[in-house]
Amino acid sequence: MIDTKFILRLFKNLILSIFASFLFISSANAITIGLMPKFTSDPYFVAANQGAQEAAAELGITVEFNGPVNADVSAQVDIVDKWIRRGVDAIAVSANDPDALAPVMKKAQAAGIKTSTWDADVNGGRDVFLNQATFAGLGATFVEMAVRAAGTSEGDFVIVTAVLTAPNQNRWIEELKKYAADKYPGMNFPAILPGDEDFEKSKNVTFNYLQANPNTAGVICVTGVATPGAVEAVKQLDMVGKVGVTGLGVPSLIRPFLKDGSLKEAALWNPIDIGYGAIYIAHAQIKGTLDKSSGEVEAGRLGTLKFIGPDTVLLGDPYIFTKDNVDLFGF
């Protein structure tokens, strides 16, 4: 006689076994990418995460967005270390310090994790870098905007940066000086002020400098946080129209200054796109489809992104925001 209960138990156990195997396979095949900004409190990086999560949804993967609250290099190293211990599939970083992060990125590579950088590069320990614009192109953009803001190409232009070790900012400064020396030899750059990616500090260092050097022609800000801080300093000193300010700008931070005329223009690329592109590149690394020799990489709605060097991918040209177009952007 057939034991119906026994057969049902066997069938139940078989179904549970199949389901457990399915979960194990699904878990084993799941892809996790760690995406690290310089710091998480900047609207620029919040927008980059928006693009990253958009790409993750399209690719059916998990993107963990994590980083320090402020521009803290040691915190970045700690987070990468945690990702290594967990065994994520790829790590994509925007570096606060190109040298300090290199050892832990090399450690990730040694552990079999795919590594890349976006927005700000490291000196070793990554396979590919997604650059938002060419260094020379952005340097030229800074200088031309500064000349328009100041109404002159003669005199002293002070530069407000992030931390003094920030790799992208240092390259942009190098390139803008080269461009100015060639085209506008009357432009001088007497000081580089660290704003540490902080609005208050950027405002204060600009305020103190301009108070001591009131004949300064202009201020060039090479971070999106520094620009509104510098403009606020100029307003507090009643120097609007006397000292021209320009630089990088996040629409949500510069909108009121563009509207009231204290800032004429600022430049940026779309941060949503750089976060989106960074994930497509990391995913291609994981899947083994990133062929550097082809000179290009497919990036979803961005289409084909081009290599501009053996291991550097270019996002595109910077966009200049003015009072007439800033409301077109929601980040």
pLDDT score at 3: 55
Domain extents in the chain = 31-132+270-315, 135-268
Q: Name which residue leads in pLDDT, 4 or 287.
A: 287
Both tokens assigned to 155: 């005199």
Domains 31-132+270-315 and 135-268 share a fold: yes
pLDDT, tens digit, 9 for 90 and up, residues 26-42: 344 599 999 999 999 88
CATH class of this structure's domain 135-268 = alpha beta
For 158-211, write each residue's pLDDT tens digit.
999 999 998 889 999 999 999 999 999 999 999 999 999 999 999 999 999 999
User: pLDDT (tens digit, 9 = 90+) per residue, 103-114?
Assistant: 999 999 999 999
Q: Which CATH number fits domain 31-132+270-315: 3.40.50.150, 3.40.50.2300, 3.40.50.300, 2.60.40.10?
A: 3.40.50.2300
pLDDT at residue 7 is higher than 90: no
| Tens digits of residue pLDDT in 221-234 | 999 999 999 999 99
| Measured distance CA(18)–CA(26) in Å, rounded | 12
* 93 neighbors 99 (Cβ within 8 angstroms): no
- CA distances 1 to 5, 11, 223, Å, are 12, 18, 81
Say if residue 253 is exposed, middle or buried (CB neighbours under 10 Å; 0-12, 13-18, 19+): buried
Q: Report DSSP letters for 76-129, one per residue.
A: HHHHHHHHHHHT-SEEEE--S-TTTSHHHHHHHHHTT-EEEEESS--SSS-SEE
pLDDT at 20 over 50: no
Which DSSP state fits 203? Answer: H
- Tens digits of residue pLDDT in 240-285: 999 999 999 999 999 999 999 999 999 998 899 999 999 999 999 9
DSSP three-state, residue 326: helix
Residue 157's pLDDT band (boundaries 50, 70, 90)? very high
330 confidence band (pLDDT: 50, 70, 90): confident
